[in-house]
Structure 1
Amino acid sequence: MRVRSSRFLLPALLWALPAVVSAQAAPPFSAADLGALRLRNIGPASMSGRVVDMDVVESNPSTWYVAGATGGLWRTEDNGVTWASTFDAPVHSIGDVAVFQPNPQIIWVGTGERASRQSVGWGDGVYKSTDGGKTWQNMGLATSMHIGRIQLHPRDPNIAYVAAQGSVWGAGGERGLYRTTDGGRSWTRTLAVNDETGATDVAMDWNDPNVLYAATYQRRRSAYGFDGGGPGSALWKSIDAGATWTKLTGHGLPDGEYGRIGIGVYRKNPKILTVSIEQGARYNASTAYIVRKAGVYRSDDAGATWTFMSDWNPRPMYASQVIIDPNDDQRIYMLNAYSFSDNGGKTFTAPRTTTHGDDRFVWVNPANSRHVVKLDDGGIGISYDRGNKFLYVTSLPLSQFYRVTTDNAVPFNIYGGLQDNGCWMGPSASWNTNGVLNDHFSRLCGGDGFHVTPNPLNPRTVYSASQFLGLQRNDTKTWEVQDIRPGDSTGHIAGRRNWETWGKPGATQVLGNAMHPANWDAPFIISPHDTATVYAGGQHLFKSVNSGRTWKDLGDMSTGVDRSTLPLMGRKPGENTLSLDDGVPYFPGVTALAESPRAKGVLYVGTDDGRFRVSRDGGMTFTDVQSRFPGLPKDSWFAGVDASRHAAGTAYVVVDNHRSNDFTNYVYATADFGTTWRRIDAGLPANRVARTVREDPRNAKLLYLATEFGVFISPDAGGQWVPLRNNMPTMPFNDITIQARDNTLVLGSHARGLWILDQLNALQELTPAVAASSAHLFTVQPAMQLRTTNVRPHTGDMHFRGENPANGALLDYWVRESGTVVELTVLDSAGRTVQTLKPTSVRGVNRIVWNLRYADLPIRSGGGEDDDAGPSATTPGPLVVPGTYTVRLSTGGAAQQQRVVVKEDPRVTVSRTERAAWTAFHREIAALATSHAPVAERWRAMTGTDAATRDGKRQASELSARISGLYGAVARYTGAPTSDQRSELRFYTRMAAELGKAGR
């Protein structure tokens, strides 16, 4: 099979469908027109998301390539101290990375995470770089969706094997083991089983590259469950470079159906194999570590015979992989629950570490087995004592957010839930010149974090939810927590499975614990009309009017389907179903929930089994409306609903049906309380998979859409859509919120943490008329004079620094033509010029920052607010007095102007009179510095050698430094100057006058 290669080949299955084009006119602006609206990434990086694979340049083991599950590929050249993103392709999810060791400029990446979990990302085939990751080319296998492993020939750069798993959500596509002998220009499928089975692992005999071992894996996931095995799962061997394969059975291997299999070949003696095999009855829950016929097997004769070593194989759906120390065949590392064996797999030790316990890959340095790197759900651990104790990388921002909200603190806080890293809160900006740091964030809950919402009237109280509606109420002053999960008086019970036993065929399933069923990402909301009223969605909808102390059951919101009757891969689940419903222990349940901010008691409720209900009386009665969504398949997953802030009957809904192998965009709107719905996704490129839709709080026509492959905005309520790319790579976004007071967009990425777009005014005001104009000045958000400093100790370079907002007023303007000459003048209330800016402009929205100061001074800085800034040829002018200013845009024609409100840092408590006097004194120093600068320059240029000239040059230079020092000293404290400072200024003024006369 020959596959066309290109710079970025988009997969036929997901992307090659033509985008549905809106019947309306093209948007008045393009994505490129918005490029100046740069977003800030604030991480965090100390609680990273899943890191799934790595390879190391063995000739230079300080250079690593590390793959995030959804965060792309990253490179370090200093053993993990600093990182650079090196793979920003049209897809974000990665399953495997492989470096060709004889020439490490050649790197292969298989896209699409190999784990079969419920939140897995997918890819578009195999990529290759021949320049060390600077550029990439898609080499095909576009419909493989998930790549389990890439095995490179140890000497021939043109030979590679790819284990293609195929879609976890459906049959078909490119799945099986593929081989290329021409560097990826063409591929041959050498091992195929059926449309439900792909290859998940491949390994090679280091001494004889013709000898290969492969694992095939039959599995299927859906909205309602998981089946992790079948007759297609098997262990295979080839002795002719994959031309033919022999299925390995018996001779010590277990009978029956297999699930996931992992293969390890000992590097020093490739006849020694260790494999992990998922197999056996009663392995029917994600956390049920029950004795079973599965685990670790060893062969000492290249797979001819096998010895059962132990049944240790924690949660095989997720990992089921053994790693053999390349220098010691007795040292075995087992993935998922970090553990190792020193007797070939007979017994395992799970050391207590300060890293995340759920590991995804372990690399052992072939030159030094004490050097171990562990990748896990929280980041990267580096060990120099063979994996007992670790340094933890805290500089790689791969956190995976599910939900985000904000409060009204200054600066406002962001709250969110992270994949397997709990719930957190942290500031959107900091007073630290280094930016938003990891330790600015505080933890609120454990487990998988999801919805987190502060009480709007009392932000000290924060509600947080872990998986399956593990609802808590947190006190963020004392850090006390109360469990308030509906229906569970003792709180959130940790059990995760629907039924504990199956019994005989036909017997009733027994609920495994007392916890009321709820979706993994079950929502709750605080009523916008009463902060004591909370709604929470399990399978039933619950309502509390006393902040969660008691609950009223409003009834089952789902269809009530019995999922034990629903088949996967053509068969119903049973007691021998491998990894039964792993990750989906509860179904069905509520997945979308909102109350109208305009009409109290108007509720919208959607479920994961295709039911959507509307109540107009606070949940007393409901109307089913799911049949009124045009073009929506039955049983679809309602992912989110946003009730309008502008119109009582308006709401927006997104449906995510990819769990049924349907990657279509489904975005809907209603204007009549859900009686009728219309689709508003026609202007989107195909198969983005919508996750969240939000209406802008100021402009009812402006919508924001979070998808698996980026964020889109619509200027006309869904008629047209424009991607909001700017400086962001391709990544999945699960949630969006708008901080109304600051008019700021907050994006929760499930890949690279939190992203913030400050000041949405330009997006809100960019009408077709504005886009058609030659120039336009947008309104300006109030700006605050922030006093930032750094009072922390030295931290070294393994330290993530989230970006602070610009310290000033953001001046956004539009020009129709690049190169338009623009002048922006800031005026005070008396019409006097404060500062003039002359930026270079390009077509579209342009952004420049006024620093809330008077014009820069022509002196070298002598120690201002930011000592880290270092000396500069100019010094920022004095801060203006807080108040109202005018910014005027001139382009050669008629001028436009907008008001700018300047606010003081809320921590500065001086009186208005004293504050004005401080600026006035600062301006006196600035005026002296400005007038003395040319005098000092004249003295510097003098060439005389007489004593008077030498003294004058020295005094002029010293006076410049003294004035600069006084200027900086006054800048460091907002308040009335001291008598010494006033005396200094008088003395410097006299000296400047004397030097001015003498230097003429």
Structure 2
Amino acid sequence: MYALIQTRDQGSVWRSDDGGANWRVVNWSRELIGRAGYYIHLAVSPANADEILVSNSSFFQSVDGGQTFRSVNWGGDNHDIWWDPKDADRFAITHDAGITITTQHGRSDRRVQLPIGQMYHVSVDNQVPYYVYSNMQDDGTMRGSIIAAEGTGAGYNGSGNLWDHGLGGCESGFTIPDPADPNIVWSTCYGNKVTRYDHRTKIARSVAPWMITLDSPPEDSKYRCHWTAPLAIDPFDHTNVYYGCNVIFHTSNGGQSWKVISPDLSAQDPGRIVSSGGLVGDNLGQFAPEVIFAIAPSEVEKGLIWAGTNDGQLWYTKDGGATWNDVSKNVTGMPAWGVVSKIEPSHFSGGTAYVAVDAHLMDSREPYIFKTTDYGVTWKRVNGDLPNRHPLSYVKAVAENPNRPGMLFAGTGHGFFYSTDEGGHWTEVSAGLPRAPVSWVVVQKAFHDVVVSTYGRGLYVLDDITPLEQGTPATTEAAVHLFAPRPAYRWTVRGRALINFSLRAAPRGNVQLQVLDAQGTVVRDLRATPREGLNRVSWDLRHEPPRLIAMRTTPPENPHIWEEPRFRGQDTRPVTHWGLEQAQVGPIVVPGKYTVKLTVDGRSSTQPIEILRDPKVPTSQADLDLSVKLQLRLRDDISTAADMVNTLEVMRKQLEDVTKAYRDDRTREALIKQVAEMDRKLFDVEAKLLEPAQMTSDDKYFQQAYRVYMNLIWLNGEVGPGAGDVSGGADFAPTDTSVSLLETIEKDLNGAKADYKILMDRDVPAFNRAIGGAMTPLTGGRQ
């Protein structure tokens, strides 16, 4: 048996060889107890009693019964060890970067990273598309476009989503963009650290208002600063930045200088202003006592700033910090020593504010949300019917919808809720959101999105809450209600419009959802799988796609093609050449006004929808019109070529089946010969549209020059959405070369159409007459 013991002055490893009756010291190494109060574990090999592993801020191994230890690089800020009791070469180590697993006793290992991002806060900017900002425990500061999730890959030609990292700051604190210039990002970090980052230079500058407080016991620090020290920017003047420790600092010159604008706003209880960490101090700020935890300037009343502490104190100033008013004692029901975790000044009234208080550290798991309408003179609880019996029922964040008065959002220790009646009643929204503490909530006003951070599962977006905003008892009771869609931006990468409708009951028949242009022409038919309640359909902003080729015949090069798993049990197969899929779509519509039409059980509803220009695209409307018109022409040409090939394929498949059925019947030799001659005529025309190399449905075979169908698809990718290693050009007018190429391809298409017409008007009828009743006449599916 081994015991690792921490004392105030030294660590020690003790060993017992008689089941604990007698003990002896085998090691006095102090490094074995690094941050013992936070992470430490000792494990003994199941096969060798002299081998010991110790995990803490570093990782150590002993093979001589603890007499000596060596540091090994098997993790970093390590927390736990699992050792296979049946295989001593197999063990796992958990640490801040994930899990390290070895099956070879550390000679090789595999690192596993789990989707467990611990995010302290989240903020958004006003770009189009807007960016999300946050900081992650054991990672750092980051931001990324709302268009796609972090780490979705480069996609075609780098069109994926790679977030910006290292924006100053660190793993804790706040990360907030300058509302007037998103290139400027402010961040806080433990130990009284503040940075100002400029994305144009990708340089962060340290602008802390005082000495670094890391290591310092709070009673020895002039300023006490929390692990997640709050930061806020003045909505009326973006040069005013506020930062909180036990006082509030203010800068108006980018952090070049600071001044203190508040007294110590905490309760200043000397019995709580003490070191943390147990036997050995551990003053990183996670448990910093008596500090400001929330700062919130009003966006409707200049100079009004709210502040709250982690010991239940609540203050405000109406003159930018010159004078402060303590309203803590006015909050009836405020739990003792509760953490004022978030303050939400109303977006509609200066005197109104909402406060989330988290008292779970005092073992109160109740949800506390307070509201004032008179600058804190009186308060009432508005947590209504939020769940209050779960160990994680406490509230960590509250937010008000800037687009609808009375609509609130709350994040608790294990869920997300909304209220449409000032907190009287709450509804949980859990679809797609893991059970994790919702640490912060923010609403992106222009996009009607709610963005939340979770402490354990990363960042999430509840996109397009317009159905919740527009919801009334009348819309709920209506048999069918089509909500007014929010405007959508014409993004050529991941652009979309969300269409929402509610049904009081499941429809009797099909639901039709269409998008019409200003002339009333149907731009897109959208598929909907309706259900009772709220429904959502996503439109990718594209016109109808082209019709595509569906091969039916068996290529001579691969007689077993229908036995392949990808085609087994199917009647048709696509042309699958690498790079085509991206280009097999219709064009994105031009900016403008459109109409959504919903038809349910014969009754129709309409709503206008506007597609907005991407402000980052300077191309004129006229040039975008040219691009879309050319893409529509390409789409229709692709459909024309595909229709001809598909008709020919139906007939050739019919001939193929006859050949298979009678190939061993010598009495049918004449018929087989006629069939072969007819198939050759059909194939000759088909091959003018699609080169035979593509008829094998192979992916990465590069054998033959393209013909009409493939040339059209690749040109569509060039002009519009892109294709395999083709960037595309949907945000630009088509090039002169593209226009000329289409004219060239259309000449080939028209030649094939002429041959096809002769075939269908002369050769096919002649064949049908010649065979008499020997087989079903060829029609190609045409009547």
TM-score norm. by structure 2 comes to: 0.79
**Structure 2 counterpart of 1:326, from 46, 70, 75:** 46
Contact 2:233–2:241 at 8 Å: present in 1 too?
A: yes
Once residues 910 and 439 of structure 1 are traced to their aligned partners in structure 2, the CA distance between those partners, rounded to angstroms, is 25
Deviates more, 1:656-665 or 1:423-432: 423-432
- CA spacing shift, 1:573–1:807, aligned 2, 3 Å: closer
Quote the residue 1:460 is aligned against: 183
Contact 2:641–2:749 at 8 Å: present in 1 too?
A: no
Quote the residue 1:631 is aligned against: 333
SS at match of 1:999: helix
Offset of 1:556 from its aligned partner?
Answer: 2.8
- CA spacing shift, 1:548–1:815, aligned 2, 3 Å: same
Q: Which amino acid in 1 is paired with 2:271?
A: S
Contact 1:533–1:544 at 8 Å: present in 2 too?
A: yes
Quote the residue 2:238 is aligned against: 531
Offset of 1:565 from its aligned partner?
Answer: 6.3
Aligned residues: 673
CA deviations 1:449-473 (Å, max 9, x no partner) are 2211111222222111112442111
Does residue 428 (structure 1) correspond to residue 146 (structure 2)? The answer is yes
Contact 2:40–2:79 at 8 Å: present in 1 too?
A: no
5+ residue gaps in structure 2? Answer: 552-573, 656-673, 692-707, 723-727, 762-783
Once residues 732 and 884 of structure 1 are traced to their aligned partners in structure 2, the CA distance between those partners, rounded to angstroms, is 41
Does residue 360 (structure 1) correspond to residue 79 (structure 2)? The answer is yes
Quote the residue 2:507 is aligned against: 819
CA deviations 1:275-302 (Å, max 9, x no partner) are 2233x33xxxxxxxxx32x432222222
SS at match of 2:712: helix
Does residue 959 (structure 1) correspond to residue 694 (structure 2)? The answer is no
Once residues 272 and 204 of structure 2 are traced to their aligned partners in structure 1, the CA distance between those partners, rounded to angstroms, is 39
Quote the residue 2:772 is aligned against: none
Q: Which amino acid in 2 is paired with 1:479?
A: K
Quote the residue 1:713 is aligned against: 418
- CA spacing shift, 1:558–1:849, aligned 2, 3 Å: same
Quote the residue 2:746 is aligned against: 985
5+ residue gaps in structure 1? Answer: 1-272, 282-290, 500-510, 567-571, 789-805
Contact 2:266–2:292 at 8 Å: present in 1 too?
A: no
Contact 1:474–1:480 at 8 Å: present in 2 too?
A: yes
Contact 1:811–1:850 at 8 Å: present in 2 too?
A: yes
Contact 1:860–1:871 at 8 Å: present in 2 too?
A: no
- CA spacing shift, 1:552–1:582, aligned 2, 3 Å: closer
* Identical amino acids, percent of aligned pairs: 26
**Structure 2 counterpart of 1:994, from 747, 752, 755:** 755
Quote the residue 1:495 is aligned against: 215
Quote the residue 2:205 is aligned against: 482
Q: Which amino acid in 2 is paired with 1:442?
A: H
CA deviations 1:868-920 (Å, max 9, x no partner) are 88769x94333323322111122246533222233466666544333322322
Contact 1:557–1:607 at 8 Å: present in 2 too?
A: no
Offset of 1:955 from its aligned partner?
Answer: 2.4
Quote the residue 2:775 is aligned against: none
Does residue 922 (structure 1) correspond to residue 636 (structure 2)? The answer is no
Question: What pairs up with 1:161-560 in 2 under 5 angstroms?
Answer: 273-278=1-6, 280-281=7-8, 291-292=9-10, 294-308=11-25, 309-310=27-28, 311=30, 312-342=32-62, 343-352=64-73, 357-365=76-84, 369=88, 371-383=90-102, 386-387=105-106, 391-394=110-113, 396-430=114-148, 432-433=154-155, 440-445=163-168, 447-488=170-211, 492-498=212-218, 511=220, 516-560=223-267
Q: Which amino acid in 2 is paired with 1:970?
A: N
Quote the residue 1:253 is aligned against: none
Q: Greater share of strand residues, 1 or 2?
A: 1
Once residues 935 and 576 of structure 1 are traced to their aligned partners in structure 2, the CA distance between those partners, rounded to angstroms, is 81
Once residues 543 and 298 of structure 1 are traced to their aligned partners in structure 2, the CA distance between those partners, rounded to angstroms, is 56
SS at match of 2:173: strand
**Structure 1 counterpart of 2:268, from 542, 550, 561:** 561
Quote the residue 2:701 is aligned against: none
- CA spacing shift, 1:297–1:579, aligned 2, 3 Å: farther
Contact 2:61–2:71 at 8 Å: present in 1 too?
A: no
Once residues 518 and 49 of structure 2 are traced to their aligned partners in structure 1, the CA distance between those partners, rounded to angstroms, is 79
Quote the residue 1:800 is aligned against: none
Quote the residue 1:859 is aligned against: 548
Query: Whose radius of gyration is greater, 1 or 2?
Result: 2
CA deviations 1:216-262 (Å, max 9, x no partner) are xxxxxxxxxxxxxxxxxxxxxxxxxxxxxxxxxxxxxxxxxxxxxxx
Contact 1:423–1:446 at 8 Å: present in 2 too?
A: yes
Quote the residue 2:375 is aligned against: 673
Offset of 1:545 from its aligned partner?
Answer: 2.0
Offset of 1:828 from its aligned partner?
Answer: 0.8
Q: CA RMSD in A?
A: 3.2
SS at match of 1:329: coil
SS at match of 2:271: helix
TM-score norm. by structure 1 comes to: 0.63
Once residues 883 and 574 of structure 1 are traced to their aligned partners in structure 2, the CA distance between those partners, rounded to angstroms, is 61
Once residues 561 and 495 of structure 1 are traced to their aligned partners in structure 2, the CA distance between those partners, rounded to angstroms, is 20
- CA spacing shift, 1:329–1:915, aligned 2, 3 Å: same
Once residues 826 and 898 of structure 1 are traced to their aligned partners in structure 2, the CA distance between those partners, rounded to angstroms, is 10
CA deviations 1:57-100 (Å, max 9, x no partner) are xxxxxxxxxxxxxxxxxxxxxxxxxxxxxxxxxxxxxxxxxxxx
Question: What pairs up with 1:73-88 in 2 under 5 angstroms?
Answer: none
Once residues 966 and 369 of structure 1 are traced to their aligned partners in structure 2, the CA distance between those partners, rounded to angstroms, is 62
Contact 2:507–2:601 at 8 Å: present in 1 too?
A: no
- CA spacing shift, 1:934–1:373, aligned 2, 3 Å: same
Once residues 390 and 441 of structure 1 are traced to their aligned partners in structure 2, the CA distance between those partners, rounded to angstroms, is 29
Once residues 109 and 224 of structure 2 are traced to their aligned partners in structure 1, the CA distance between those partners, rounded to angstroms, is 38
Once residues 884 and 995 of structure 1 are traced to their aligned partners in structure 2, the CA distance between those partners, rounded to angstroms, is 40
Q: Greater share of helix residues, 1 or 2?
A: 2
Q: Which amino acid in 1 is paired with 2:307?
A: V
Offset of 1:694 from its aligned partner?
Answer: 0.8
Q: Which amino acid in 2 is paired with 1:690?
A: V
- CA spacing shift, 1:901–1:634, aligned 2, 3 Å: same
Once residues 680 and 276 of structure 2 are traced to their aligned partners in structure 1, the CA distance between those partners, rounded to angstroms, is 97
CA deviations 1:580-619 (Å, max 9, x no partner) are 7786553201012111100011111111112111211111
Q: Which amino acid in 1 is paired with 2:23?
A: W
SS at match of 1:450: coil
Q: Which amino acid in 2 is paired with 1:915?
A: L
Quote the residue 2:675 is aligned against: 945
Offset of 1:376 from its aligned partner?
Answer: 0.9
The answer to which structure, 1 or 2, has the higher relative contact order (CA under 8 A, 6+ apart) is 1
